[in-house]
Chain A
């Protein structure tokens, strides 16, 4: 039951690398916030700074309003689930879970009760006497979670906990993590590079790029209203379609195709037009003509990938079009497409700023 506040947090390494740049954020009680970004963007560093495993070069981290910069990791009362689980290989599951409690001087009887209760909740009760090496990946994952939960910490920290699991298990555990976090009502930060995982888990999402928070908000907010080109292209699967464009004499031009419905854009700056795959639609007199390269039938959905040749002068641009259920289109076919002008986004190419 805690809140976390980061203000002006910076991390500079001795070699001059500036891993985290001026992060401000506040996380409400019981909220699950996901840090998402490409690898090397500083999201793990930020998490480790909250855990106390990395020092804070500048700024302040506070739990429940109390500054914790100088407090040791153990005394911050946070629990972390590591990517490779970091279970103690020579200890049984029981001892793995009990170790942190015993080190805090909890009475044996109480430890026993807490571990058994937590193990039951995670359905690992029957494995308590086994060692990590005798467990499957999913079971180890549960033990790692159990070790975090059993301590009833103020804050859960997850560092890409699902990336070592296979796809099916990952979806299962994702749901389970979300359920447990809700049930326990513990504030949590979850780091991942997988945007699907991020979207499905998060109460709020922080997209991090080059040590900065690009944007923070609910998954849907980030999806439908990204503030930067980076966020627009990072969130969403399949990716948003991006078309290089420019604004000339009151008109938006992609190649030499004029698009109507755009106004008040800066001239002489390279722009980027972003259209989500689901905002394209078939239309007899459409603006673009696409020749189909690939049709992905996903059952409830089908994705059509193809090159748009309508804009002369430049290389054909690959577009993705979400065509709904059961299309009968085949590769080689040509489609005329239109897009919803009011849902399209325009960004500056130079600094990624969203203009429309």
Chain B
């Protein structure tokens, strides 16, 4: 009895510590964002509500700010949402098609080609950012959503995951489908995609968060303030705030940070539920 009490105390202790460790910065940012600017300058970070919640968030979300005073947080959230969703959906589509071709079509060099794709993991965006920028700039796609998303959606990891998954799908399903007069496209849409639901959900979650958090690429690709994503916005607004000669509006930076974390959290919560359900109802 005492043993199990001690055990549950210690496990709960660890969990509580972990929660505090993860949650405290968010809590501080949220609380600090509800105070007026002068409190933050005078007293530092705040740990409890300061009564200016609506005021700050209203201003951040709906009043144009930034260097040119042309962008609101809601606009930046919208931009980020487009980037995150486009990035995730694009990656799923591209890597799924690539894996489909590699696994199900007998073309020469399929395996070497797969490893070539896989090796692009050694060349992250940062390494090839100058040529990538050059290509997009020459195509006149700067400051467009298309130019922001498309160069990012090729995914070696996604291709790898889908390839492994497709290889685990029993071959008889393909054969049954062939006898059922399902061509390659029908097989993909009617059978493979529904079977990969959980895989797709997992990749969507991960990729949405990765896309949402992109910093360097959107920073290069966007020159107009109204095309900023929220992650860039935090930095830019913070810069304006501290260089403007006025009182630095830290509460706004905190508010932006809180706003920037909300959508990824929401996506993880929503999809996780679905994802776990998919895993439990094992169908394959």
Chain A interface residues toward B at CB < 8 A: 51-53, 72-75, 78-80, 82-84, 86-90, 99-100, 103-104, 131, 133, 147
Check A99 against B182 for contact (C-beta < 8 Å).
yes
**Across the interface, which residues of A come within 8 angstroms of B180, CB to CB?**
74, 99-100, 103, 147
**Across the interface, which residues of A come within 8 angstroms of B194, CB to CB?**
90
A82 to B173: give the CA distance in the assembly, Å: 9
Q: How many residues of B contact A (CB 8 A)?
A: 21
**Across the interface, which residues of B come within 8 angstroms of A73, CB to CB?**
175, 178-179
A-B contact pairs, 24 of them (CB 8 A): A51-B179, A53-B175, A53-B178, A73-B175, A74-B180, A80-B175, A80-B176, A82-B172, A82-B175, A83-B172, A84-B170, A86-B176, A88-B177, A88-B190, A89-B284, A90-B191, A90-B194, A90-B197, A90-B283, A103-B181, A103-B182, A103-B186, A133-B281, A133-B282
A289 to B134: give the CA distance in the assembly, Å: 95
Q: How far is the CB of B195 from chain A (nearest CB, A)?
A: 6
Q: How far is the CB of B185 from chain A (nearest CB, A)?
A: 11
Check A86 against B178 for contact (C-beta < 8 Å).
no
Check B283 against A86 for contact (C-beta < 8 Å).
no
**Across the interface, which residues of B come within 8 angstroms of A79, CB to CB?**
179
Check A104 against B281 for contact (C-beta < 8 Å).
no
Chain B interface residues toward A at CB < 8 A: 170, 172-173, 175-182, 186, 190-191, 194-195, 197, 281-284
Given contacts A74-B182, A99-B190, 10 further A-B contacts (CB under 8 A): A72-B178, A82-B175, A83-B172, A84-B170, A90-B191, A90-B195, A90-B197, A99-B182, A133-B283, A147-B180
Closest to B180 in A: A100
Q: How far is the CB of B234 from chain A (nearest CB, A)?
A: 42
Neighbour of A89 across the interface among B179, B181, B190, B283, CB < 8 A: B283
**Across the interface, which residues of B come within 8 angstroms of A86, CB to CB?**
170, 172-173, 175-176
**Across the interface, which residues of A come within 8 angstroms of B182, CB to CB?**
74, 99, 103
A51 to B175: give the CA distance in the assembly, Å: 10
Q: How far is the CB of B231 from chain A (nearest CB, A)?
A: 37
What 4 pairs across the A-B complex have the smallest Cβ distances? A86-B172, A100-B180, A74-B181, A89-B283
Q: How far is the CB of B199 from chain A (nearest CB, A)?
A: 13
Check B195 against A89 for contact (C-beta < 8 Å).
yes
Closest to B284 in A: A89
With A89-B195, A99-B190 as given contacts, are A82 and B176 in contact (CB-CB < 8 Å)?
A: yes
Q: How far is the CB of A103 from chain B (nearest CB, A)?
A: 4
